[in-house]
Structure 1
Amino acid sequence: MRVPVSWLREYVDLPADVTPRGLAAKLISVGLEVETVDEVGAELAGPIVVGRVAAIEELTGFKKPIRYCQVDVGTANGSGERQNIICGAVNFAVGDLVVVSLPGAVLAGGFAIGSRQTYGRLSEGMICSATELGLWEDHAGIVVLPEGFADPGTDAFDLLGLRDDVLDIAVTPDRGYALSMRGVARDAAVLYGAAFTDPAEVKPPATEGEGYPAAIADLDACDRFVLRDISGFDTDAPTPLWMKRRLALAGMRSVSLAVDVTNYVMWETGQPLHAFDRAKLSGGIVVRRARAGERLETLDHVDRALDPDDILITDDSGPISMAGTMGGLNSEIDDASTDLVVEAAHFSESGTARMSRRHNLHSEASRRFERGVDRRLPPYASARAVELLLLLGGGRMGGLTDVDPEVLAPPPIVVAEDHAAKVAGVDYPAGTSSTWLRAIGCTVEELPGVLSVVPPPWRTDISDPNDLAEEVIRFEGYENIPAIPPRAPAGRGLTRTQRLRRAVGRGLAGAGYSEVLSFPFVGERDLDGLHLPEDDPRRASLALANPMSDGEPLLRTTLLPGLLKTLARNAGRGSTSVSLFEAGLVYLPRDGAPARAPAPAVDRAPGADELTALAAAIPDQPYRVGAVLAGDREPAGWWGGGRQANWADAVEAAHEVARAAGVALRVAQAQAVPWHPGRCAALSVPGPDGEVVVGHAGELHPRVVKAYGLPERSVAMEVGLDLIEAAIAPADAPFISTYPVATQDVALVVEESVPAGAVEAALRSGAGELLEAVRLFDVYTGAQVGEGRKSLAYTLRLRAGDRTLTAEEATAARDAAVASAGELTGARLRG
């Protein structure tokens, strides 16, 4: 909604020192979203004056008409002599009043005016068009002013409104009244305590004869319908400059006087209007719903198939207008329309909105009806339109038709006097609510402790006590509500699950991973890229009823597709070394769940059976953590060569997750899709019934790397954080020994197929209580250990809590650990 400030001042007596930006700030403070304050014409500079064409010499020999004009500009040029100006427009004659920019002026677009030699003559300025002055878009010729408009030499800035400030307001759906000068002026008047002049308070003109016959067939579609007749209208009467200028500032194009007047009154009062050509009407008008098979060609030249829910204005020939949205082409006024029927009505908000969306037909009229229009306004707005039409276009007043069925008035809203204070948390003085509610037009009856409030008819958004509280609070000032941070009750805070998820994120970020967030949607192509078998549970995914993309209609069952596509995107943009992680939900359908979730009714609460059916349709949503790596894990530099990421780094990422949870992770060789069969590890944690596999890590299969376009030897990890969290044991404060540690190194030779994790577990079981930690620090394969074998070197940290260990005790613990490893894994000490 564009609001010219000069136009607004006609309806509200704003103080002289109010600036447009100050006004905008005030309106913003009460909930009107003023997006910009446009300084229209700020680039124009004088002298721009009124001139009278005194003589015209037609120059010949050029490809287009060229005229050498002498223009009387009074004393504006400093000499009082006529100004010589070259002009190519032909829509003016000797004696016409025009707008002249003299040398030194600057026009729209920063176009500077000076004296120059052109077409063999000296041109001392320019005779201006509306486009050059920034008035409105018009390339038909220059502006010809009406006779008596002003004397030659008069400054044109104020006369034509060349400079103005326009507030551009984004009107929210709950403030439909602000889609009019009348509505914005009301709020401005309340804000400044200024006098308000209602443009809708017009004295209806006297009518002659009976009005055009009309009836309402569906009161749910329309509950007020007003027609006013005019005959003998002058179709050649032009729209006055002041009206064209205001419409242009409001963002509307001038069409003809009849159309411009209806648009002007709509902008002024908020009531949409439509003018029919009476000669094109056939029989009485009826407002009704559409019938099967009916069609209408609207003013935009589109032939529309109508829906039975559409609201129509019809006559004996059928539909002539889509009510509150757009008129029909057959009843459109044209250059021969001398007898008019002006229509103003009150149509259903929801019915207009549905029709507008159904036909993808949005107009200024539908915007207003959707948000609510004052039901009492049609006779006054139509009277205002007829008043302007008769004043500017002549003619005679005809009859009036006002179909005004009895409509049950809504009951008063009863609200506690201090309700607004309680909502805002501010102790407003007694009487504050009633003062502001009366200021916005409510009828307020003060009862003991409560107020009985009847909202004004133009505020269709006010329907309950909280709406009234909002009105009081916004005028008292949102900025006056103190900012009091909520205080967390003692003993509360983050849950264990929340703390764990944050710890995992911090741990992986600290290890060099960048977190990514992927859409939880995948397609069959993504699952095919992982080379999942047809019976893989991850292929049993839920299909979305309304997917964002036809290529991704499924909910993800694994984090890997999103991570791999993000890795490919980064690699494709030149990132040679990438480490990414993601934490989020996956969606696993339950056995026996319905294919589609039931849709409960919206007019009542769902019953117990419906809630059970809804719960059964909800998939399991475990929380997963995944990571992918490609390129160098350790960069090369002056310190030495780098190291490419390998399967062990993926396993280490899983260890990072487990460390955040305080859980020991067991690693064992495995085969799982989509990992390389020889470079894949199964990750497990202790459970009540033994080891529980929580995920896998390792190098991706080459076919998966190729399918996703990943760098070679890319690695990935995915674990279920819910399963890891379930393995967290009650926390016991560790005993910290003050005695020194004893270290023992052992190198064990085992078959190459024996996992290092199995050897480590055997060492732990054999070393007993003295073992504090064990770490693998070297792996060797080669001729010294024989083909098919490998050497694993471990450091054992031994410590007692009550004494310093002797060399004999440390050696005995080491030997016991080695013996256990030999018994359980076939390991022997390396010679």
Structure 2
Amino acid sequence: MRVSVSWLREYVDLPADLPTGDLEQALVDLGIEVDSIVDLRTTVTGALVVGEVLDIEELTGFKKPIRFCRVDVGTANGTGEPQEIVCGARNFAQGDKVVVILPGGVLPGNFAIGARKTYGRNSAGMICSAKELGLGDDHSGIIVLPADSPTKPGDDARPVVGLDDVVVELEITPDRGYALSVRGLARELAHALGVPFRDPALAPAPGGTAEPAYPVEVRDPVGCDRFAARMVRGVDPTAATPGWMQQRLTVAGIRSISLPVDITNYVMLELGQPMHAFDAERISGPLVVRRAEAGEKLTTLDGVARTLAAEDMVICDDAGPISLAAVMGGETSEVVAGTTDVLFEAAHWDPVMVGRTARRHKLFSEAAKRWERGVDPALPLVALERAVQLLTAHAGGTVGAAILDIDHVRPMSPVTLPVDLPARRVGVAYSPQRVVALLEQVGCTVVQGTDRLAEDPGEVGVAVGGGDVLSVTPPSWRPDLTDPADLVEEVVRLDGYDRVPSVLPTTPPGRGLTWQQRRRRAVARSLAERGLVEVVAHPFTSPELADQLGLPADDPRRPAVRLANPLSEEEPLLRTTLLGSLLGILRRNLGRGHRDLALYEIGTVFHPRPGAGRPPAMGVDRRPTDAEFAAADAAVPHQPRHVAVVLTGDLDPAGWWGAGRAAGWADAIEAGRAVLAAADIPADRVEVRAAEHAPWHPGRCAALLVDGDVVGYAGELHPAVVATLELPKRTSAMELDLDALPPAPVAPAPTVSTFPPALIDVALVLDASVPAAEVRRALVEGAGELLESVRLFDVYASEQLGAGRRSLAYKLAFRAPDRTLTVEEAVAARDAAVAVAAERFGATLRGA
């Protein structure tokens, strides 16, 4: 919102010597963000004067039209002779008054003006456009002053174009739609500075008549709860917009189009009421205000043919939609150069509908910006009276006696506010009288009474005990005041945020990190130390992912929670596995030239609870009941925390030191082991077992078990999955449920023996189908307490061993805590270990 201070002064008595810094601070104290405050007198230096075009010579032979002009600038150039200026604009003619900056002047952006030869002519100075003067974005032509302008050549042009003013640019938050108008900003400044305010909305305006200004039917009073209209006939179609109005529109960033349209924009900026002007002669039959029919077409004023949705509101005549209500008018009924009969419309539309329509059609007009933030429903008749008076004053015509006013607006609902709630919430001792005065200053109607005893001590908005409460009815221009908290915010805002003490809360005593937090950090650190890179992905996924991963129809990872308002319609589901988003990041990095990748993520997945319905709607006026809390919790999906790893390319790069090593299924399994080790799960409680589980290769997939329960899977991805997702062959992955891991047992202090170990290798020949982990477990059981460690170091198969047979070689370390073992003791322990393996799996010592 850009507005000049001179316009604000029409409705609020700002001090004449108010510094721009004080003005900015007043707005900031009110909670309004100030982008900039510019004193336009300082933006252009040098001689900026009024000039009259004496003659124009069209220069030909160039890529674009060029004009050589002689301009009378009076004695401003020191000679009194006409100023010779080359200009490319086409929107002025001989005899027009224009704005000229003479050599030596500097335009905004530090653009210095001089005299030079260009296009074969001498050019001294520049004829200026609004954009060149920093007054707006319109660069389609130069500024042409009205023919009746009382200025003469050589006069200072700054007051004429508004460069003697101060312009304020504000960023208005979505809850303060009233501040998108001169009326609203003037009221706010009156509050901040304690000066009188004159509300333009209190201007007298006639009410609706029995005979409507034009026949209109409103079929949806929810989408449009008020519709008003007035007719002006016989206006002068050639009447120009007065210069002062053009200037204010330009400062606000709105391009001047025609007098009727400019008036609607001017009234919108002044009062905050968006309006529309129809050419009455181009409307066929009565108007109907209704919801659009899905698939209906409308060409809007920007020349775009739009397909309407069933939620859109439209204004129709006998030919169909002629306006996309509250957003943009249509081409078929717009005011054109020959319009003589103007029908002004001012209505009140549902802000939710307008916001969705604007986003659906990507039409973020100035009107839509105001409607979705809330517009005063009491304004339509005042806005119409202001518009018809401006039009007849500058273009003549006759105002019709009939006034249409279809009014279904519901009165504002009162809000119950304990008088001590602002003090309790903010920590400032606001007296009851101060609270009432501040709320009345906002425009609220306040009635004081005695409260009731609240049923719930935590209930917000109802005092407990016998204190006073206020029944506060917000004004029509503040639809954002719906709850006690909103009223508390108004009290603290107007009283001053600077009065609120800065008190840091007392830090409660803590016990440090929980064991779950310590576990997650240990897992992340362990994977990072192994060379993997952590990524954080969005928890959203597409409906096609389950098929891409080849999940069976009954897989529990198929059902997913659908978001009500997803960021992207392509990914409307919450993920049930980390692999989808992690493989997506892997593919994105591969597409950017990376080949060797080892990534991991620790995050939550989301599983819908069976039979869970929609959570109950809960307001902010009270604390939810226990039943509401329970119902809300029952609808929340189960959210276990997982860890996942993906590997592709070389794990160890090749170089002068030797050949590299490609990542494979064994590395994914080892990453799972590392996670379990970092989670302090003892190795004797961990089991790795062959498994078949999508999306892994059925012959290269392992289940990770803790105490016999599956907690994750690891291995090489299925070739079909790799092909579908366009990933390199042999891509491997691991995913493990961290929340499924039991708490780490209390680790006993390690015992350090000073006696030497006895190291014995055993090579067992057995059936190739026997898992190596099962053989290791048998050796541990048979060796007894003297066994300190066992490690598989070789797997061998050959024709000599026989078909379907292989040799597993283990390193056994035996040690006693109190003595040096004898050879006999070590061999006996080894034989006992081999005996268990022989009994259980038919294993024999290789070479025996």
Equivalent position amino acid for 2:705 in 1:
S
What pairs up with 1:464-479 in 2 under 5 angstroms? 464-478=483-497
Aligned twin of 2:813: 796
1:270 Cα deviation after fit = 0.6
Contact 1:207–1:399, Cα closer than 8 Å, also in 2: no
1:177 Cα deviation after fit = 0.9
1:469/1:478 CA distance change after superposition, 3 Å: same
Aligned twin of 1:50: 50
1:685/1:209 CA distance change after superposition, 3 Å: closer
Within the alignment, does 1:650 sit opposite 2:650 as a pair? no
Within the alignment, does 1:760 sit opposite 2:759 as a pair? no
Q: Distance in 2 between matches of 1:568 and 1:90?
A: 55
Q: Distance in 2 between matches of 1:666 and 1:767?
A: 19
TM-score (norm 1): 0.80
Secondary structure of the 1:537 match is coil
1:588/1:148 CA distance change after superposition, 3 Å: closer
Q: Distance in 1 between matches of 2:663 and 2:432?
A: 72
Superposition CA RMSD, Å: 5.0
1:521/1:205 CA distance change after superposition, 3 Å: closer
1:656 Cα deviation after fit = 1.8
Q: Distance in 2 between matches of 1:531 and 1:316?
A: 55
TM-score (norm 2): 0.79
Q: Distance in 1 between matches of 2:533 and 2:421?
A: 49
Equivalent position amino acid for 2:793 in 1:
D
What pairs up with 1:69-84 in 2 under 5 angstroms? 70-84=70-84
Within the alignment, does 1:715 sit opposite 2:732 as a pair? yes
Contact 1:69–1:85, Cα closer than 8 Å, also in 2: yes
Contact 1:741–1:797, Cα closer than 8 Å, also in 2: no
Aligned twin of 1:685: 706
1:750/1:422 CA distance change after superposition, 3 Å: same
Aligned twin of 1:573: 592
Contact 1:207–1:397, Cα closer than 8 Å, also in 2: no
Equivalent position amino acid for 2:272 in 1:
G
1:253 Cα deviation after fit = 1.9
Work out the percentage of aligned pairs sharing the same amino acid.
46
| Deviation readout 1:681-738 (Å, 9 max, x if unpaired) | 332222xxxx33333333445665555444454433233334433xx47x34515446
1:143 Cα deviation after fit = 1.9
Within the alignment, does 1:482 sit opposite 2:502 as a pair? yes
Aligned twin of 2:452: none
Within the alignment, does 1:828 sit opposite 2:816 as a pair? no
Aligned twin of 2:197: 196
1:258 Cα deviation after fit = 1.6
Equivalent position amino acid for 1:475 in 2:
L
Q: Distance in 2 between matches of 1:306 and 1:817?
A: 79
Within the alignment, does 1:444 sit opposite 2:446 as a pair? yes
Equivalent position amino acid for 1:50 in 2:
V
Aligned twin of 1:746: 760
Aligned twin of 1:156: 157
1:440 Cα deviation after fit = 2.1
Q: Distance in 2 between matches of 1:422 and 1:503?
A: 44
Contact 2:206–2:381, Cα closer than 8 Å, also in 1: no
Contact 1:559–1:582, Cα closer than 8 Å, also in 2: yes
1:457/1:647 CA distance change after superposition, 3 Å: closer
Equivalent position amino acid for 1:458 in 2:
W
1:225/1:723 CA distance change after superposition, 3 Å: closer
Within the alignment, does 1:514 sit opposite 2:528 as a pair? no
Within the alignment, does 1:453 sit opposite 2:453 as a pair? no
1:188/1:698 CA distance change after superposition, 3 Å: same
Aligned twin of 2:263: 261
Equivalent position amino acid for 1:152 in 2:
P
Contact 1:313–1:320, Cα closer than 8 Å, also in 2: yes
Contact 2:765–2:846, Cα closer than 8 Å, also in 1: no
1:49 Cα deviation after fit = 0.9
1:265 Cα deviation after fit = 0.9
Secondary structure of the 1:460 match is coil
Contact 1:679–1:698, Cα closer than 8 Å, also in 2: yes
Q: Distance in 1 between matches of 2:185 and 2:339?
A: 34
What pairs up with 1:275-290 in 2 under 5 angstroms? 275-277=277-279, 289=290
Stretches of structure 2 lacking an aligned partner (at least 5 in a row): 450-466
Aligned twin of 2:184: 183
1:684/1:321 CA distance change after superposition, 3 Å: closer
1:392/1:702 CA distance change after superposition, 3 Å: closer
Equivalent position amino acid for 1:744 in 2:
A
Stretches of structure 1 lacking an aligned partner (at least 5 in a row): none
Equivalent position amino acid for 1:47 in 2:
A
Q: Distance in 2 between matches of 1:232 and 1:177?
A: 34
| Deviation readout 1:312-345 (Å, 9 max, x if unpaired) | 7678999776654555656544444444443434
Equivalent position amino acid for 2:75 in 1:
T
Contact 1:106–1:113, Cα closer than 8 Å, also in 2: yes
Within the alignment, does 1:537 sit opposite 2:570 as a pair? no
Contact 2:114–2:124, Cα closer than 8 Å, also in 1: yes
1:767/1:167 CA distance change after superposition, 3 Å: farther
Aligned twin of 1:666: 687
Aligned twin of 2:370: 368
Aligned twin of 1:387: 389
Contact 1:130–1:143, Cα closer than 8 Å, also in 2: no
- The answer to which of 82-91 and 464-473 deviates more is 82-91
Aligned twin of 1:779: 794
Contact 2:283–2:317, Cα closer than 8 Å, also in 1: yes
Contact 1:742–1:810, Cα closer than 8 Å, also in 2: no
1:564/1:184 CA distance change after superposition, 3 Å: same
1:76 Cα deviation after fit = 2.0
Q: Distance in 1 between matches of 2:380 and 2:662?
A: 78
Secondary structure of the 1:99 match is strand
Secondary structure of the 1:200 match is helix
1:697 to 709, 714, 717: 714
Aligned twin of 2:462: none
| Deviation readout 1:69-99 (Å, 9 max, x if unpaired) | 5544233223444434455667666665332
Q: Distance in 2 between matches of 1:292 and 1:519?
A: 37
Count matched residues: 813
Within the alignment, does 1:734 sit opposite 2:733 as a pair? no
Q: Distance in 2 between matches of 1:527 and 1:306?
A: 34
| Deviation readout 1:95-114 (Å, 9 max, x if unpaired) | 65332221223457766433
1:47/1:827 CA distance change after superposition, 3 Å: farther
